[in-house]
Amino acid sequence: MKSIQLSELNQHYGEEVVVSGFVDNIRNLQWVQFLILRDDTGRVQITIEKSDDNNQSMVELVNSLTLESTVKITGILNENPKVKLNGMEIIPSVIEVTSKSDLELPFSYKDLTGVNLDTRLDYRFIDLRSERNSLIFKIQSSLVQYMREYLYQHDFMEIHTPKLIGAASESGSDVFEVKYFDRLAYLAQSPQFYKQMAMASGFNRIFEVGPVFRAENSNTSRHATEYTCFDVEFSYIDSYYDVMNLESEMLTYALEKVNQIYGEKIKEMYGEELVVPSLPFPVMKLSDVYQELESRYGYKVDDSEKDDLTTEAERLCYQLAKDKFQHEFLFVTHYPASKRAFYHMRDDDGVLQGYDLLWRGVEITTGAQREHRYEEIRKNAKEKGLEKDVEFYLEFFKYGCPPHGGFGLGIDRLTMLLLGISSIKEAQFLFRGPNRIEP
Ligand code: AMO
């Protein structure tokens, strides 16, 4: 017989079942042993009567069993209202130890207070046994599932672009070099060029969810050197407003679904209220944001920092979005063109046709209409001194390329903000940063 998951047990009362999991707890009383078995979906009590002669070998086995070992158990599942844990118990006939755990864990994942985050990350596989921490990834999986679902419903298809690339892409400074036989290659900072190549290939609507690599030596709560980006690109748009609309609709759709499934649990486990956003999301120009941050909150930005939002300004934008629009999201537009990627389109007045999206005071997305006209994009690349490096990319625009746009959304940051987790280190399955590349 195959093991069933513990969440399925309630369909099998009175039957012989086989279950597998970790030994969560053992209570060894005078007449009876209680073993609590745990898998990813729940827990169940196993009850072993010591007085039953047939049970002697099982009783001995449980006497020497260590917590967190894994076992496979065959037994009869009984409904029993006296059992506090789900009103059921299994009366076992066979217990097989499938892996034995050391007696001493590096720390107790059941109470993480006082356990250093670095120690937790060193033993992430134990840290993730806690309900709170494993739930982060169930919710993340659900969030990504519904973002994908929205896109499939709108005729998008998922593609997979290479992460090993021959030329440093967006900007040379933040890339990791790798030895590639007798030459150098780089790890992709973004699928940017390839998602645009898909547009030149005549793929109307695509997305990709995959790893991206940033050689940024920044130890902040929101930066990782490898993270997962949710990238979208689509053709025949009229302006970057089409991109902002698609993104806000996708996020609203996914957050509504996640709220239905996990809203209560998120509140209980992380103390965070999931507010399903209303459409449309508010939009502000960067210069207006600065003006209002000053007039409302006395926050004055130095001229040298006016090209982008500082971390503090981003943080205050949460307050601004709430006070001005009763919203948690804020699109910011009209960044100075000179400071943004060369592939963002500029209008005839030189105004950048792109945006950042902030949620709860943190940037989660950059998006834009792209420059798809060959002469223009070549000129933009030249201005940045990138013409030679991106020669292969410029070719994409030479033989017909639809007007298009898209965005990149950091999944790890999105998860962190959704659950009110203070650091991206906890929102990544395994964090990668300047000082952490293991386990
Ligand atoms: P950008 O560089 O802004 O845009 O990245 C997109 C989004 O990725 C997230 N992000 C990060 N998350 C964790 N650690 C980091 N070091 C990090 N850097 C960025 C943020 C950010 O908004 N090619 C463009 C996207 C596009 O225009 O389609 C790009 O990569 O959430």
Nearest CA to ligand 1 atom 17: 223
Q: Would you state the pLDDT for residue 1? A: 81
Count of CA atoms in the C-beta half-sphere (13 A) of 234: 21
Residue 134's closest CA among 125, 143, 144, 147?
A: 125
SS3 381: helix
Q: Which two tokens stand for residue 34?
A: 């209680």
How does pLDDT run along the chain (439 residues), one tens digit per residue?
899 999 999 999 999 999 999 999 999 999 999 999 999 999 999 999 999 999 999 999 999 999 999 999 999 999 999 999 999 999 999 999 999 999 899 999 999 999 999 999 999 999 999 999 999 999 999 999 999 999 999 999 999 999 999 877 666 568 999 999 999 999 999 999 999 999 999 999 999 999 999 999 989 999 999 999 999 999 999 999 999 999 999 999 999 999 999 999 999 999 999 999 999 999 999 999 999 999 999 999 888 888 889 999 999 999 999 999 999 999 999 999 988 999 999 999 999 999 999 999 999 999 999 999 999 999 999 998 888 889 999 999 999 999 999 999 999 999 999 999 999 999 999 999 999 999 9
- Measured distance CA(418)–CA(139) in Å, rounded: 9
- Alpha carbon separation from 49 to 63, 92, 312, 416 (Å, rounded): 13, 10, 62, 46
What is the DSSP annotation of 136-149? HHHHHHHHHHHHHH
CA nearest neighbour of 241 among 86, 105, 357: 357
Contact of 242 with 248, CB cutoff 8 Å = no
Q: Does 229 contact ligand 1 (Cβ within 6 A)?
A: yes
CA of 364 to the centre of ligand 1 (A): 7
Q: What distance in angstroms lies between residue 408's CA and the mean position of ligand 1's atoms?
A: 6
Nearest protein CA to atom 10 of ligand 1, as residue = 410
Q: Which atom of ligand 1 is nearest to the CA of 189?
A: 30
Interval between CA 258 and ligand 1 midpoint (Å): 23
Question: Whose alpha carbon is nearest atom 15 of ligand 1?
Answer: 223
433 lines ligand 1 (CB under 6 A): no
Residues 6+ apart with CB under 8 A from 309: 286, 289, 317, 332, 356, 358, 363
The answer, yes or no, to whether any atom of ligand 1 lies below 6 A from the CB of 210, is: no
User: How many Å apart are CA 49 and CA 43, to the nearest integer?
Assistant: 20
- Evaluate: CB of 368 within 6 angstroms of ligand 1: yes
Residues 172, 284: Cα–Cα separation, whole Å: 31
The 3-state secondary structure of 174-205 reads: HCCEEEECCEEEEECCCCHHHHHHHHHCCCCE
228 CA from centroid of ligand 1 (Å): 9
Closest Cα to atom 4, ligand 1: which residue? 366
| pLDDT for position 103 | 85
Longest Cα–Cα distance of the chain, Å, equals 89
Would the CB of 194 count as within 6 Å of ligand 1?
Answer: no
Rounded to the nearest angstrom, the distance between the alpha carbon of 229 and the centre of ligand 1 is: 7
140 lines ligand 1 (CB under 6 A): no
Of 331, 323, 246, 324, nearest in space to 284 by CA? 331
Q: Which 8-state DSSP code applies to residue 7?
A: G
Whose alpha carbon is nearest atom 1 of ligand 1?
366
Nearest protein CA to atom 9 of ligand 1, as residue: 410
The amino acid at residue 135 is: L
**The two three-digit tokens of residue 276, written as one number:** 């399903």
Query: Across the strands, what pairs with 336?
Result: none
For residue 209 the two structure tokens come to 């969810």
Which one-letter amino acid corresponds to residue 246? L
Map out the domains of the chain with their CATH numbers: 6-99 (2.40.50.140), 127-427 (3.30.930.10)
425 CB less than 6 Å from ligand 1? no
**pLDDT of amino acid 301:** 85
Provide the residue type at 217 as one letter: N
Confidence (pLDDT) at 171: 60
Q: Are strands 205-213 and 88-99 parallel, antiparallel or unpaired?
A: unpaired
Single pTM value for the model: 0.95
Decide: 363 in ligand 1 pocket, CB within 6 A. Answer: yes
